C-alpha cells in the first residue's frame, strides 16, 4: 500500500469527504486522538468536514487539572462534540478553532487566547501495520461490536497507548462506533495553554476516559475516520450541553 502523508489525507478529506450511507448520526474526518502532558493537562483535536447532523466543524478538547474538561468548537454544542460528551465536561465554548499544516507531517492547532499546539507526526512499523490491517478488513466488520472490542484491546497495547475502545457508550448515553483507517504516532508536541507551557508529553498517572471513550496515553493522529452513533441522544443531555455553551 502506498502511504500518503497526514496532511495529504486531511486535504483529501476537506475536498472529498462523503458520509457513508445509513440512518444513524455519522461523521467523517481526522483527529489527534489525544495527548497527555507532564503538567497534568490533556489536549485532543477533532476535524469533521462532513456531518449528518450539521455543518463541518473543528473542536479542541482541553482538560485542566483543577477545572476538568472544556470543549472548544466552531459549531454549536448540539451539533458538535458536546452533543455526545457534554454531560462529562465542565464547559463548552463556541469559538474559532484553527488548524494549519506547516508541512506533510506538521500541524499547528489553536484556540485564540487559550491554546497553541504544535505537532509533528511519524510513521512507525506498528502504525503502518495497523493501517494496512484496517484497510484489509471487510467494511461490514466495522459494525460488529465484538470485532471492534477485539480491535481496541489489540490496538492499545500495540501502540503503547493504554486502554482503547472503538465502540461503547458516550457520557450523554449514545452508542458510538469508530473506524480509523490510518494512524500515525506523534513525534514531537509542544503546547501553550492559558499562556503557560503544558510541559513535555507524558502519560497521566490515571488514564483519562469519558464513559467508554478512553483517551490514549500517547499522541496518536488518525485519518480516514468515520464515527457512527447508532442511537440518538437523550434530549435532556443534549439540551444540557447547549445551555453550557458560551462564546469566547
74 in Cβ contact with 57 (< 8 Å): yes
C-alpha cell at 8: 495529504
Residues in the chain: 248
Q: Which of 7, 59, 61, 64 is nearest to 34 (CA)?
A: 61
The tens digit of pLDDT for each residue in 50-65 reads 999 999 999 999 999 9
What's the rounded Cα separation, in Å, for the pair 188 and 122? 9
Look over the chain and give the mean of its residue pLDDT values, rounded to a whole number: 91
Q: At what angle do helices 145-158 and 125-136 cross, to 10 degrees?
A: 170
Q: What is the pLDDT at residue 233?
A: 54
**Quick check: 163 pLDDT over 70?**
yes
C-alpha cell at 118: 504544535
**What residue spans of 99-179 are helical by DSSP H?**
125-136, 145-158
The tens digit of pLDDT for each residue in 60-117 reads 999 999 999 999 999 999 999 999 999 999 999 999 999 999 999 999 999 999 999 9
pLDDT confidence bin for 234, thresholds 50/70/90:
low
The tens digit of pLDDT for each residue in 165-186 reads 999 999 999 999 999 999 999 9
pLDDT confidence bin for 232, thresholds 50/70/90:
low
Q: pTM value?
A: 0.91
**Quick check: 21 pLDDT over 50?**
yes
Q: What is the pLDDT at residue 44?
A: 98
Per cent of the chain over pLDDT 70 is 92
Amino acid at each position: 500500500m502506498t502511504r500518503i502523508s497526514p496532511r495529504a489525507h486531511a486535504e483529501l478529506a476537506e475536498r472529498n469527504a462523503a458520509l457513508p450511507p445509513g440512518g444513524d448520526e455519522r461523521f467523517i474526518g481526522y483527529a489527534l486522538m489525544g495527548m497527555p502532558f507532564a503538567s497534568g493537562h490533556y489536549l485532543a483535536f477533532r476535524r469533521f468536514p462532513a456531518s449528518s447532523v450539521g455543518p463541518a466543524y473543528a473542536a479542541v478538547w482541553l482538560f485542566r487539572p483543577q477545572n476538568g474538561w472544556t470543549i472548544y468548537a466552531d459549531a454549536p454544542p448540539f451539533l458538535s462534540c458536546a452533543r455526545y460528551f457534554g454531560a462529562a465536561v465542565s464547559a463548552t465554548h463556541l469559538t474559532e478553532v484553527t488548524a494549519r499544516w506547516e508541512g506533510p507531517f506538521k500541524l499547528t492547532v489553536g484556540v485564540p487566547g487559550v491554546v497553541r499546539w504544535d505537532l509533528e507526526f511519524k510513521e512507525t512499523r506498528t502504525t503502518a501495520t495497523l493501517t494496512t490491517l484496517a484497510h484489509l478488513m471487510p467494511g461490514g466488520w466495522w459494525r460488529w461490536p465484538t470485532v471492534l472490542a477485539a480491535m481496541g484491546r489489540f490496538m492499545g497495547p500495540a501502540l503503547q497507548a493504554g486502554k482503547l475502545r472503538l465502540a461503547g457508550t458516550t457520557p450523554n448515553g449514545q452508542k458510538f462506533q469508530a473506524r480509523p483507517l490510518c494512524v500515525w504516532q506523534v513525534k514531537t508536541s509542544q503546547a501553550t495553554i492559558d499562556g503557560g507551557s503544558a510541559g513535555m508529553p507524558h502519560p497521566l498517572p490515571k488514564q483519562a476516559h469519558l464513559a467508554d471513550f478512553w483517551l490514549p496515553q500517547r499522541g496518536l493522529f488518525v485519518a480516514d475516520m468515520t464515527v457512527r452513533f447508532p442511537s440518538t441522544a437523550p434530549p435532556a443531555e443534549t439540551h444540557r450541553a447547549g445551555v453550557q455553551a458560551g462564546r469566547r
